C-alpha cells in the first residue's frame, strides 16, 4: 500500500515523522523490588544490556535467562529534536510490554499501563527537551494465573502446552512527533449494502479549534485511480462520515468497486488529512477493504459468497525470539508459507500478533481469527483485567480486513466450570455482548472448542487421529449438537441451559500429529514413525473432517513446533516436514460427503 513503510509498527495509521527505538538498552533485574525506593529512575546502574524488543528469556535478547524475574528495568537515552517539538507533541509508543509497565522521563514519572498484549502510548512532550533525554522503564510481571497470559507458563518449568514466560518489552518501541491538532484514531467499517466506507474519527484538538473551519479530508484511491474525495467539518472530538466506494465505468455508469477475498485481496489506499483554510495540520496514511462476514444458516459468507475455511493454528513462536518475530521478513515468510500450503487462513492462538503480520495478511490474502490470551482462574480480579484488555484488542485490530472472527475464550480456560456455573455463564455472555457492542459485524466465538453458551459459530476440538473413531463421534450431527457427551475426552457441546440454534459448525482444533524424532517432545496421539506415515495420517484426518456435511471449515494443529510441542507441519526453524505441495493437495482435495 502507499502508506507502507518497512518496519513501521502501526501500518494502518502511518505518519512519516517517527523513530524506531528498538536496539540496545541498559537492563537490570530487580528481584528484591528496591528500584523504585532507591530511585533507579534518577540514576540507573545497569547490570547488563538487552536487545529490545526481545524479552530477557530469549537468546536474541542477549541474556537468555528463562527463570522468572518479577521486576525488570530498562534504560536508554533518546535524542529529541527541539525544532520538531515546536507545534508538535512527542509521543512514545509501546506495541507490547508484559505486564505492568511504568515510565520515567528524565527522572519524572510519566505514567503506567497494565496489560501485556496491546499498544499503549505516553505523551511525554512536557518531560523532554532538545537534545539527550533519559527513558527509564520498569516492568512488573508474575506467574499469577489470574493474569491474562495465554501460553505463558505459570510454573517454573514448561509442561503440557505451556511454554517459557515472556516478561517485559516484547514488541517494538517507537516515537513520533504529532501535531497539536491531530487525528488520534479512525474506525473504518465497510457497508456492503450501500457500498460506502463508514469512518469514525477521533480528533485531538482544543475545543476552540473546532469551529467549523477545521476539516478532515479523506482521499480514497484504488490502484492510483481516484475513488472518492470527501471533506467533513470537525465540530467535536468524534466525527462520523462515510465515503462512496463505487467506481465510474467507461460510459459514465457507476459500479461497486472490487472486494477483498483471500483469492483477490483488493485494498484501497486511504489518505487522511486534518486541514484548516487550505493548510494541512496532520496527515495520516492508511488503507481499507470492502468486505463483510455474515452467517447464513450453517454457512459463513464472505462478501456474499459461501466460504469453506481451511485454517491452521499458529502460535507465533520462534526458536530464539519466542513470541517476538525476529524481523518483518520472518512475518512475511510465515504468511507466504501458510498460503503455499493451501490454507486460506489461520487462527492466531493465545496471543496478539505483531500488526505488521496482519498487514501482510491483509495484503496477501489470509483469513485471521483473532484470539485473546487467557487467564486461568475465575475471580473478580481476573475478569476485570480480561474484559478491559480484550476490548483494547478489539479496538486496536478492528480495521484489519483479514480478521473475520473474534475468539475471546479458548477451551474454558479461566471459566473451567462454565457448564454448570451460572456466574461463569454470565461472564461469557457479557464478553460476547461487549464484543458485539464494539463490532456487530464479525462473528464471535466465546469459548472456542468446548462448552458453548452464546456463540455465532459452534466450534469443536477433537484430537482423535484414528479416522474410524473420529467419524464414529462426529458423523451424527444430532449426537454432537444435542448436548450429549459425544466423546469420552470431551464434555457436551453446550453448557446447561443452552443449546444448538442452527449456527455454522467448524472443527477448530484437530490433528496435532507429531513424527518420531531424536529430540523428544510430544504431539497428540501416537507418533508417526516416518514422513510417509505422517502424510497418510494428516490426509486421512483432514479428509474425515471434510466428509462431514454439517461442518463448514477446519483449523489444523499446527503451524510450527513450539518448544516441547513438536506437532507442527513445520519445525521450529520453519523447515517443512512435508512438501508444501503435498499439504496443499490435501487441503484442496474434494472429499465425498457422508
Q: What are the tens digits of pLDDT across the range 247-282?
A: 877 766 778 899 999 999 999 999 999 999 999 999
Q: Report the CATH superfamily, name and number, of domain 22-171.
A: Galactose-binding domain-like (2.60.120.260)
Question: Quick count: other Cβ atoms within 10 Å of Cβ 157?
Answer: 8
Query: Residue 530's beta-bridge partner residues?
Result: none
Query: Cis omega before residue 558 (within 30°)?
Result: yes
Q: Is-contact 320 59, C-beta < 8 A? A: yes
Q: Is the pLDDT of residue 377 over 60?
A: yes
Q: Is-contact 419 491, C-beta < 8 A? A: yes
**How far is Cα 430 from Cα 439, in angstroms, rounded to an integer?**
14
Spell out where 30-181 has E strands.
48-52, 71-80, 88-94, 97-98, 100-105, 108-114, 120-123, 131-140, 168-169, 173-179
**What's the pTM?**
0.96
- Tallying the residues shown for the chain, one arrives at 594
Residue 521's pLDDT band, with cuts at 50, 70 and 90, is confident
**How far is Cα 346 from Cα 167, in angstroms, rounded to an integer?**
26
Q: Torsion-angle region of residue 211: left (phi > 0), alpha (psi -120 to 50) or beta?
A: alpha
Question: What is the pLDDT at residue 517?
Answer: 80
Q: Is-contact 239 283, C-beta < 8 A? A: no
User: Domain 182-288's class?
Assistant: mainly beta
Domain ranges of the chain: 22-171, 182-288, 304-588
Q: Is the pLDDT of residue 415 over 60?
A: yes
Question: Quick count: other Cβ atoms within 10 Å of Cβ 288?
Answer: 25
Q: Is the pLDDT of residue 108 over 60?
A: yes
**How far is Cα 515 from Cα 570, in angstroms, rounded to an integer?**
11
- 304-588 architecture in CATH? Alpha-Beta Barrel (3.20)
Section 198-204 average pLDDT: 97
Question: DSSP secondary structure string, 218-261?
Answer: EEEEETTEEEEEEEEE--SSEEEEEEE-EEE-TTS-EEE---B-
DSSP assigned state of 327: S
Cell numbers at residue 358, please? Answer: 496482519
383 three-class SS: helix
Q: Is the pLDDT of residue 357 over 90?
A: yes
Amino acid at each position: 500500500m502507499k502508506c507502507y513503510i518497512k518496519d513501521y509498527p502501526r501500518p494502518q495509521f502511518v505518519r512519516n515523522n517517527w523513530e524506531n527505538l528498538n536496539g540496545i538498552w541498559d537492563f537490570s533485574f530487580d528481584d528484591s523490588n528496591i528500584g523504585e525506593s532507591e530511585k533507579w529512575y534518577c540514576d540507573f546502574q545497569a547490570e547488563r544490556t538487552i536487545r529490545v524488543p526481545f524479552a530477557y528469556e530469549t537468546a536474541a535478547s542477549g541474556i537468555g535467562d528463562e527463570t522468572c524475574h518479577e521486576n525488570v528495568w530498562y534504560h536508554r537515552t533518546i535524542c529529541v529534536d527541539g525544532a520538531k517539538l515546536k507545534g508538535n507533541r512527542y509521543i512514545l509508543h509501546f506495541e507490547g510490554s508484559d505486564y505492568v509497565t511504568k515510565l520515567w522521563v528524565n527522572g519524572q514519572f510519566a505514567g503506567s499501563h497494565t496489560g501485556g498484549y496491546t499498544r499503549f502510548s505516553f505523551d511525554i512532550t512536557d518531560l523532554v527537551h532538545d537534545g539527550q533525554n533519559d527513558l527509564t522503564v520498569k516492568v512488573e510481571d508474575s506467574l499469577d494465573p489470574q493474569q491474562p497470559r495465554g501460553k505463558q507458563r505459570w510454573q517454573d518449568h514448561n509442561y503440557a502446552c505451556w511454554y517459557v514466560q515472556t516478561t517485559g518489552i516484547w514488541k517494538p518501541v517507537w516515537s513520533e512527533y504529532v501535531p497539536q491538532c491531530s487525528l488520534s484514531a479512525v474506525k473504518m467499517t465497510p457497508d456492503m449494502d450501500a457500498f460506502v466506507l463508514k469512518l469514525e474519527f477521533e480528533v485531538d484538538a482544543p475545543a476552540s479549534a473546532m469551529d467549523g473551519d477545521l476539516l478532515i479530508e479523506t482521499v480514497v484511491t484504488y490502484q492510483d485511480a481516484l475513488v472518492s474525495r470527501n471533506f467533513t467539518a470537525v465540530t467535536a472530538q468524534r466525527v462520523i462520515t462515510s465515503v462512496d466506494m463505487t467506481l465510474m465505468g467507461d460510459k459514465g455508469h457507476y459500479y461497486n468497486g472490487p472486494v477483498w477475498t483471500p483469492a483477490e485481496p483488493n485494498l484501497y489506499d486511504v489518505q487522511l488529512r486534518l486541514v484548516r483554510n487550505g493548510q494541512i495540520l496532520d496527515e495520516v496514511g492508511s488503507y481499507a477493504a470492502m468486505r463483510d462476514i455474515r452467517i447464513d444458516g450453517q454457512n459463513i459468507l464472505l462478501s456474499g459468497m459461501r466460504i469453506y475455511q481451511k485454517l491452521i493454528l499458529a502460535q507465533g513462536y520462534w526458536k530464539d525470539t519466542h513470541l517476538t518475530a525476529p524481523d518483518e521478513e520472518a512475518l512475511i515468510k510465515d504468511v507466504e508459507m501458510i498460503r503455499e500450503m493451501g490454507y486460506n487462513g489461520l487462527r492466531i492462538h493465545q496471543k496478539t500478533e505483531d500488526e505488521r503480520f496482519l498487514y501482510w495478511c491483509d495484503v496477501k490474502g489470509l483469513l485471521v481469527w483473532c484470539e485473546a490470551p487467557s487467564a486461568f482462574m475465575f475471580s473478580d480480579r481476573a475478569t476485570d483485567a480480561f474484559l478491559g484488555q480484550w476490548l483494547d484488542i478489539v479496538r486496536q485490530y478492528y480495521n484489519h480486513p483479514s480478521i473475520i472472527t473474534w475468539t475471546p475464550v479458548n477451551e474454558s480456560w479461566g471459566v473451567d466450570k462454565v457448564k454448570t456455573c451460572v456466574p461463569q455463564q454470565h461472564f461469557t455472555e457479557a464478553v460476547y455482548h461487549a464484543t458485539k457492542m464494539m463490532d456487530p459485524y464479525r462473528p464471535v466465538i466465546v469459548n472456542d472448542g468446548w462448552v458453548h453458551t452464546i456463540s455465532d459459530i459452534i466450534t469443536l476440538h477433537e484430537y482423535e487421529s484414528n479416522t474410524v473413531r473420529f467419524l464414529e463421534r462426529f458423523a451424527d450431527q444430532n449426537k454432537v449438537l444435542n448436548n450429549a457427551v459425544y466423546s469420552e475426552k470431551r464434555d457436551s457441546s453446550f453448557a446447561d441451559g443452552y443449546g444448538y440454534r442452527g449456527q455454522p459448525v467448524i472443527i477448530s482444533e484437530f490433528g496435532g500429529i507429531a513424527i518420531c524424532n531424536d529430540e523428544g517432545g510430544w504431539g497428540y496421539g501416537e507418533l508417526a514413525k516416518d514422513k510417509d506415515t505422517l502424510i497418510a495420517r494428516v490426509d486421512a484426518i483432514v479428509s474425515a473432517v471434510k466428509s462431514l456435511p454439517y461442518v463448514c471449515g477446519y483449523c489444523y494443529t499446527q503451524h510450527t513446533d513450539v518448544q516441547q510441542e513438536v506437532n507442527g507441519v513445520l519445525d521450529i526453524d520453519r523447515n517443512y516436514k512435508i512438501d508444501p505441495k503435498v499439504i496443499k493437495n490435501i487441503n484442496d482435495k474434494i472429499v465425498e460427503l457422508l
